[in-house]
Amino acid sequence: RFEGVTMAPPDPILGVSEAFKADTDAKKLNLGVGAYRTEELQPKVLDVVKKAENLMLERGENKEYLPIEGLAAFNKATAELLLGADNPILQQGRVATIQGLSGTGSLRLAGAFIERYFPGAKVLISSPTWGNHKNIFNDSRVPWSEYRYYDPKTVGLDFDGMIADIKAAPEGTFVLLHGCAHNPTGIDPTAEQWEKIADVIQEKNHIPFFDVAYQGFASGSLDQDASSVRLFAARGMEVFVAQSYSKNLGLYAERVGAINVICSSSDVATRVKSQLKRIARPMYSNPPVHGARIVANVVGDPTLFNEWKVEMEAMAGRIKGVRQKLYDSLSAKDKSGKDWSFILKQIGMFSFTGLNKAQSDNMTDKWHIYMTKDGRISLAGLSLAKCEYLADAIIDSFYN
């Protein structure tokens, strides 16, 4: 009966990790998935996470079911981190927050909500975007189309194209925006450009829909990285925001995140929350507790909170260090005079190299460097020691 099932293609991002594991070459390097590694290229568990887990053991926390909406202390902490603890929107009770299965699961809840309450509405996503966005909306049966974002000529933002496409979308479109550290390009709008994006979204009565996967990880400051979302919220707009703690707390496998819906009144927020719970219950019943307790403990304890910020800055700093070294190595080795400074302008975990599919294949086949086929490399998986090797591989792939 299962004869008719065809083979699914490997995932464009997580499939790269599978291929990396199967490679036996000692020089191999995994720059595919966006997961932080130490300079020794080992996964990192943050010290604050270990301390929060010890606290949980000492307190003898139980494993009872959480409510459908998740851990109350987590939901409070996550909305406060996003909007700022003293944001009047929180005092007004205008935010419906429910814990989700990290960024993906939170986006999926939003997808199901849009499909149910805004039938026919479209989601507008950036071209390019994170590989999983299209899958999420396809599976949610929410139609989507793209707005221009990346300009290959400048390896920068196609701001005019972006504005024109958002303007041209039918009124009431959900516009998916990356809160900070755009994935895969690492190219973010400036503060002035964010204002203009908010202007056109407001004019067209669109609904801004933020994916915030890197708060604190892009600039090293939690507040700075949430400024795009806060700008839209301060204008009184209704906003969707998905959050993830995979990167900034290194809680990848704990699947902890949230979906927040900023509403026009606390009444609306209460109703929206009730419907999000109704969507979550038949999907997975209620979310896992462990990661949510870690977040609540770290954010809720001033000492741990400050230690977290220091550790996060150190991670963001290490990535900036390899970014600089990669740029220096490329500039020194490349005799063609090509300007590689776009690498320094990009922010966050990734660099969008401009390598095409064939060139990316050469990186893997010849150099054992694993990366996604859109030309993205994760600098979080790179060490200073490997920068020269990577630069050789990029130059070889680029010019041959």
The residue to which tokens 């390896």 are assigned:
155
392 is catalytic: no
337-to-23, 278, 322, 331, 341 alpha-carbon distances in Å: 34, 58, 21, 8, 11
Q: Quick one: which of 376, 334, 339, 335 has its CA closest to 354?
A: 376
- 220 vs 257, which CB is nearer to ligand LMR? 257
Nearest 5 degrees, angle CA 230-CA 234-CA 237? 100
Alpha carbons 114 and 102: distance in angstroms, whole number? 18
**Distance, C-alpha 345 to centroid of its chain:** 18
Alpha helices in the chain (DSSP H): 14-22, 47-59, 72-83, 88-91, 102-117, 131-139, 159-168, 191-203, 222-225, 227-234, 266-284, 290-300, 302-333, 342-345, 357-367, 387-399
DSSP line for 27-38: T-EE-SS---B-
Catalytic residue, candidates 122, 144, 188, 247: 247
Helix axes 387-399, 302-333, angle to 10 degrees: 50
Output 287 or 348, the one with its CB closest to ligand LMR. Answer: 348
Of 291, 305, 316, give the one whose Cα is nearest residue 181.
Answer: 316
Q: At what angle do helices 191-203 and 227-234 cross, to 10 degrees?
A: 40
Find the shortest distance in angstroms from Cβ 179 to ligand LMR: 14
Measured from the CB atom, is 304 or 363 closer to ligand LMR?
363
Least separation, in Å, of the C-beta of 183 and ligand LMR? 5
Q: Report in angstroms how near the CB of residue 309 gets to ligand LMR at its nearest.
A: 22
**Structure-token pair, residue 5:** 């099932």
Q: Please, which residue, 17 or 227, has the CB nearer to ligand LMR?
A: 17
Is 144 catalytic? The answer is no
- Give the residue with the Cβ less far from ligand LMR, 103 or 189: 103
Please identify which of the residues 158, 165, 188, 211 carries the catalytic annotation: 211
CB of 102 to ligand LMR, least distance (A): 8
Please identify, using beta-carbon distances, which residue of 378 and 397 lies nearer to ligand LMR. 378
Please say which residue, 198 or 218, places its beta carbon nearer to ligand LMR.
218
Task: Determine whether 130 is an active site residue.
Answer: yes
Indicate which residue of 51, 122, 130, 367 is catalytic.
Answer: 130
Contacts of 172 (CB under 8 A, 6+ apart): 118, 121, 205, 206, 207
Q: How far is the CB of 246 from ligand LMR (least distance, A)?
A: 7
CB of 108 to ligand LMR, least distance (A): 12
What's the rounded Cα separation, in Å, for the pair 249 and 81? 13
Burial class (CB in 10 A: 0-12, 13-18, 19+), 45: exposed
DSSP letter for 64, please. P
Using alpha carbons, select from 313, 306, 327, 305 the residue that is nearest to residue 384.
327
Return the number of the residue (13 or 109) whose C-beta is nearest ligand LMR.
Answer: 13
CA 104 to chain centre: 9
Q: Which residue is nearest to ligand LMR (CB)?
A: 34
Q: Which CA distances in Å does 248 have to 18, 109, 216, 297, 381?
A: 24, 22, 6, 15, 15
- Contact residues toward ligand LMR (CB under 6 A) are 13, 33-34, 130, 132, 183
Could you tell me the smallest distance in angstroms from the CB atom of residue 16 to ligand LMR? 9
Active site residues: 130, 211, 247
